Structure 1
Amino acid sequence: MNWSNVEFQNPEFFWLLIVIPLLALWFFFKRKKDAAVLTVPSIKGFTTKSSFVSKLKPLLYLLRLLALAAVIVALARPRNVSVSKRTKTNRGIDIVMAIDVSASMLARDLRPNRLEALKKVAVNFVNRRPNDRIGIVVYAGESFTKTPITSDKLIVKRSISELQWGQLKGGTAIGMGLGSGVNRLKESKAKSKVIILLTDGVNNSGNIDPRTATELAKELGIKVYTIGIGTNGMADFPWSKDPRTGQLNFRKQQVEIDEKLLKEIASETNGRYFRATDNEKLKAIYDEIDKLEKTKIEDFKYYNYKEMYRPLVFLALGLLIFEFLLRNTIFKSFI
């Protein structure tokens, strides 16, 4: 038996245990009066012999005290408690991460560059969403779904780690990135549908207007969190590739983010706009989104009680019967 699971429903009865030592003292001082006394002027001529059985007579008092202690513990109602748990989640949250993978995401104002900084933060975000489904959409001059919405976090994290520049033609098609995210979520039955749209530029490509995609998201009840990534001022941007080595050449360039558009997209869909100017702020943004969008988890506990007072009552009864039998058999001649 695991005694750590035992509780007492009426522990106040333990105060009665104070009676046990008092009765023990009372029995101790009373023991001589229980024996018959014969007064004689002299014991000369008598042979005295000590009886082993007579020395065991205090055992009768001990049995009574043990029986009383068992009754007191039984009154305290000991019971074994076993707890079973069941976790219930609602239909969760379906999240699409729409990620800009244009060449400007290689800018070095975040360490080591914007894209690598994002990948690290995005993986940590996925790790904190065990009960939600997540999909990945990438876009530059066009867009495509890299990972459909899935609950398999290993697939999602592998897709994020594989993100790289050069998979799509140049430009920044914010409308197409948002539209692809909306298309992924339009059939979703989740209680909450969210798009996290990240970009570092302005909409300059694609055949879907960002405001049109915003209206579709609004009609479908999709909340859009927009993130503008890039420092304020100048940053090292890639502008050409060395034909001999294949390495990118960088030069200082003004950071341009269409914050007005991003704020409008977020506002129209009841989301929020964030600006990530460094690695720490980018991490803080994903931490905040993680707190804002939580799947409701309910824990149900079921308590099973097994009463344990009955064996104690039977023990007390057995001790009293045993004491009665000893008193009227073995110890009868000494009482």
Structure 2
Amino acid sequence: MHFADPLFLLLLLLIFPLVWYMEWLRRHKRGALRFSDLGRFRKIKPSSSLKKRHIVTFLRMLALALLICAAARPQTSEQMLQANYTEGVDIIVALDCSGSMQAMDLDYRKQNRLDVAKEVTADFIRHRLTDRIGLVVFAGDAYTQCPMTLDHDVLLEILKGVSITMGGTIPDGTAIGLATARALKRLDNSQTKSKIIVLLTDGMNNAGEIDPLQAANIAKIQGVKIYTIGTGSRSGVAPVWVEHPLLGGGWTNQPVELDEKVLSDMADTTGGRYYRAGDQKELKGIFNEIDRLEKTKIEDLGEHRYREMFGYFVAAALLCLLLELILSQTLYRVLP
């Protein structure tokens, strides 16, 4: 409960001086009957009803306090109509699925880079409940694997099916510029204010006809921010399991060839950020930071309805006055 006009409550401060004044009047009031000697009356013990005579004054002051509270318009919340306005972010995840993503350095010799990236990306998607998210995969070429959608269950199923070079259907290589262009094409008709590309790769641009920085400049014109993520061991080499037809399987090391300058320049051009992930924990932290940076705007346009309660206070005040009137004319009546 709250008061619509709380300034009226300041009048409650007048009650205490008023009580004091009434008591002062009572004590200094001249008696209607006069006696030559009051000694005998002082020996009489006051009755219990006389001791409770102040209840009349209390009821009168309580009625006044209740009327003041009624004037302050007490209200209770009766109903709240919610009309949340949500403005989502349009996101394209561009995921490198080239042959080098087979390296097992992010989760050492347990999962390859692509599997770790898919797992972390899936967690990111699950947290973006009100955003449209799409998926572009790339190696030597780039393809839209899933257009932007709010049906994240479908998107997650498609993400599960992403594999190295998509089972050989995409030529090997790393077409960073072309992947960015594909993502921009998907965002071309977006009407949202916030549009971002999250591009994850472990290599340098060596395929496709589009330069990554040229694609970044186009993104800047379109108002699209690019967050680039470079993955790979910081040691400079990464373990890879290789099957040999005669010698069987075995571990070998491949060099980590990551063009951090290009990835950083792409992010800087568009107002995004470049991140370096040396292991699975770092990659999770990067996606969590992007999730915090790109927040969905939710505006509560709810309407609050209140129920006026002053009638109850007035009724209680009238009840107190009635009880005070009855008691003052019967049990606590003053004669004459």
Q: Same fold (TM over 0.5)?
A: yes
How far apart are the structure 2 equivalents of 1:212 and 1:248?
42
Residue 9 (str. 1) matches residue 6 (str. 2): yes
Q: Cα distance 1:244–1:184, how it changes in 2: closer, same or farther (>3 A)?
A: farther
Q: Secondary structure at the match of 1:224?
A: strand
Of 92, 102, 109, which aligns to 2:105? 109
What is residue 229 of structure 1 aligned with on the other side? 231
The answer (yes or no) to whether the contact 2:63–2:317 under 8 Å persists in 1 is yes
Which sections of structure 2, spanning at least 5 residues, go unmatched? 37-48
Q: Secondary structure at the match of 1:217?
A: helix
The answer (yes or no) to whether the contact 1:195–1:222 under 8 Å persists in 2 is yes
Deviation for aligned residue 1:149: 0.3
Q: Secondary structure at the match of 2:192?
A: coil
Residue 88 (str. 1) matches residue 90 (str. 2): no
Residue 177 (str. 1) matches residue 179 (str. 2): yes
TM-score by structure 2 length? 0.74
What is residue 256 of structure 1 aligned with on the other side? 257
Q: Match for 2:125: what amino acid?
A: V
What is residue 132 of structure 2 aligned with on the other side? 133
Q: Secondary structure at the match of 1:167?
A: helix
The answer (yes or no) to whether the contact 1:83–1:301 under 8 Å persists in 2 is no
The answer (yes or no) to whether the contact 1:81–1:304 under 8 Å persists in 2 is yes
Aligned residue runs from structure 1 range 291-306, under 5 A: 291-300=292-301, 302-306=303-307
What is residue 98 of structure 1 aligned with on the other side? 94
TM-score by structure 1 length? 0.74
The answer (yes or no) to whether the contact 2:12–2:65 under 8 Å persists in 1 is no
Aligned residue runs from structure 1 range 1-150, under 5 A: 5-7=1-3, 9-10=6-7, 11-16=9-14, 18=16, 63-81=59-77, 84=80, 85-90=82-87, 92-111=88-107, 112-150=111-149
How far apart are the structure 2 equivalents of 1:97 and 1:197?
6
Q: Cα distance 1:293–1:316, how it changes in 2: closer, same or farther (>3 A)?
A: closer
Q: Match for 1:96: what amino acid?
A: I
What is residue 47 of structure 1 aligned with on the other side? none
How far apart are the structure 1 equivalents of 2:51 and 2:226?
89
What is residue 42 of structure 1 aligned with on the other side? none
Q: Secondary structure at the match of 1:125?
A: helix
How far apart are the structure 1 equivalents of 2:84 and 2:335?
67
Identity value in percent: 38
Q: Cα distance 1:19–1:309, how it changes in 2: closer, same or farther (>3 A)?
A: farther
What is residue 43 of structure 1 aligned with on the other side? none
The answer (yes or no) to whether the contact 1:233–1:254 under 8 Å persists in 2 is no
Deviation for aligned residue 1:100: 0.4
The answer (yes or no) to whether the contact 1:54–1:334 under 8 Å persists in 2 is no
Which sections of structure 1, spanning at least 5 residues, go unmatched? 40-52
Aligned Cα root-mean-square deviation (Å): 4.2
Matched positions, count:
321
Q: Cα distance 1:283–1:217, how it changes in 2: closer, same or farther (>3 A)?
A: same
What is residue 282 of structure 2 aligned with on the other side? 281
Q: Cα distance 1:227–1:26, how it changes in 2: closer, same or farther (>3 A)?
A: same
Q: Match for 2:272: what amino acid?
A: G
